[in-house]
A and B are shown apart, each in its own frame.
Chain A
Amino acid sequence: MREVAVVGFTQSPCMRREPDRNEVEILIPVIHELRKSLGFEKESFDFVCSGSSDYLAGQSFAFVSGLDAIGAWPPVCESHVEMDGAWALYEAWVKMQMGYADTALVYGFGKPSMGDLPITMALQLDPYVNTPLWPDAISLAALQARLLLDAGLVTEREMAEHAVRDRKNAKRNPFAQVKGDFQAASLLKKPKLVSPLRQHDCAPISDGASAVVLAAGDRARELAKRPAWIRGIAHIVEPQELGVRDLTRSRSTELAAARAGIWKGAVDVAELSAPFTHQEILVERALGLGAKTRINPSGGALAGNPLMAVGLSRIGEAARRIWDGSASRAVAHATSGPCLQQNLVCVLEG
């Protein structure tokens, strides 16, 4: 495997509603700051890959205007995925493995506040029999939570404790949206949003963008004092139809984790992108994380959830812990689709 590392990361603050700026204007300073921090102001990247969704913008080919943020003249080698930026990073990593690029810029951006996000998400379901019923994303997650509670696999208290932990960690993250000191007991007294889920079980809706730079071999050593080397990365998908999946565990996360080689060593830090508390529990279990791992030092997706960038941000946040020496081995997770349908696991080492 070719040595490829994460050497740069920037993000915008997660905001419930970005009042003024459009998607691209949220992205522009993020990219600009990243280029500046790495001395890439004039130089171009060998490859650029982005993740965003036209359904969030409500505009076809909305992602093309994102190119304004990178400066695409003279023409650049570029690609786009209609997925979280973590999958754009995967594409860039593959390109670098094949020797087509030594440096890559990866970004994800979205402004879900422009539409009704839980309803927009129904469009990722089977278009013939599921989408026409318009099941919103929170209701689908609630069905999964109900399965877990009824099977005795999680408790509401455990779910609340995850929200408490993430919100507490997020106090140290200036980009997080939901943060502070909370008590599980008082969160559990709050009304249900979509039973059995309460507000604290659901990730916020966030407008935002993030960007990462990858570099190979010596180029990475030039750009970072302590590059966060990608030692394994894999993504696995489950069937689209919810009825044929086991929703009480995340098989695809387990398989991706195995392929990424997560269990070859201790995990110091894990950054998870699960948008509901019960899903965070499932992902922790699938990754086999124990008490020795610091989970979501940034607060994770439950503290800030810029759709299409949130998974990429987890990789950036995990890499930051390698750069600053607070971790020697870190894991980042990203998800896509309803009820943890598709999962990506990335293992980083210093």
Chain B
Amino acid sequence: MSEAKEPLELLRIPIELDYTFSAGQSASRFLRGIAEGKLLGQKCPVDGRVYFPSRGACPQHGMPFGGDTLELSDKGTIVTYAIVRVPSENIPLELPYIAVQVLLDGADTVLMHLLKAKLEDVHMGMRVKATWRPKSEWTTSVGNILYFEPIAEPDAPYDSYKEHI
């Protein structure tokens, strides 16, 4: 009888592949814009919808956007939110925090970001504005916006953002 062997349970095969990633023309345009404090979107040539951040083509019609951009306001409306109370290794934020989806004025797609507000105040339709890092710290990153904060404006009517939830 052959000797019973322990099953081989672990095989270590390290895989390391290096890439020189290119964000692409469209994302680069967006990132260069935000490095100057500009929020750039692009307009679909078919139906005029504004995509933010800008991308290579309208995902609805497959139409190339070309190089034209549109600068958007840093004010917007909260279309939905979540209060996060569960820690995550990758997110160094203090709990609880509010994750929001903001529809910037003039945009047709939402941006995911953070809201600095009292937990009990956050609601859909709430008007908010970006709070930026000091200009000297700006880089090619959406992190140039620290978070959004409520502003003293009446709530946006549901119909104005219902399509974007």
> Which A residues are closer than 8 A to B by beta carbons?
18-22, 24-25, 28-29, 31-32, 35, 55, 58, 67-73, 111, 113-116, 119-120, 123, 127-128, 131-132
Return 12 A-B CB contacts under 8 Å, by A number. A20-B25, A21-B25, A22-B24, A22-B25, A32-B62, A32-B63, A68-B57, A71-B61, A73-B60, A114-B19, A114-B20, A115-B19
**B 55-89 to A, binary, CB cutoff 8 A, 1 in contact else 0:** 11111111110000000000000000000000000
In this complex, how many residues of chain B approach chain A with their Cβ under 8 Å: the count is 25
CB <8 Å contact, A67 and B24:
no
> Which B residues are closer than 8 A to A by beta carbons?
11, 13, 15, 17-28, 55-64
Chain B residues contacting A67 (CB-CB under 8 Å) are 59
CB <8 Å contact, B25 and A25:
yes
Query: What separation, in Å, do the CA atoms of A11 and B165 have in the docked complex?
Result: 38
CB <8 Å contact, B62 and A58:
no
**With A70-B62, A114-B21, A116-B18 as contacts: A24 and B13 at CB distance below 8 Å:** no
Query: What separation, in Å, do the CA atoms of A105 and B77 have in the docked complex?
Result: 39
Query: What separation, in Å, do the CA atoms of A28 and B57 have in the docked complex?
Result: 7
Chain A residues contacting B17 (CB-CB under 8 Å) are 55, 58, 115-116, 119-120
Nearest CB of A to B21, in Å: 6
CB <8 Å contact, A24 and B20:
no
**Highest count of chain B CB atoms <10 Å: which of A71, A113, A128, A131:** A71
Chain A residues contacting B58 (CB-CB under 8 Å) are 68, 71
Nearest CB of B to A238, in Å: 24
Kindly identify which residue among B19, B22, B63 contacts A20, using a CB–CB cutoff of 8 Å: B22
CB <8 Å contact, A128 and B11:
yes
Query: What separation, in Å, do the CA atoms of A191 and B55 have in the docked complex?
Result: 45
Nearest CB of A to B95, in Å: 28
**With A68-B57, A114-B19, A132-B13 as contacts: A21 and B24 at CB distance below 8 Å:** yes
Query: What separation, in Å, do the CA atoms of A304 and B82 have in the docked complex?
Result: 50
Chain A residues contacting B26 (CB-CB under 8 Å) are 25
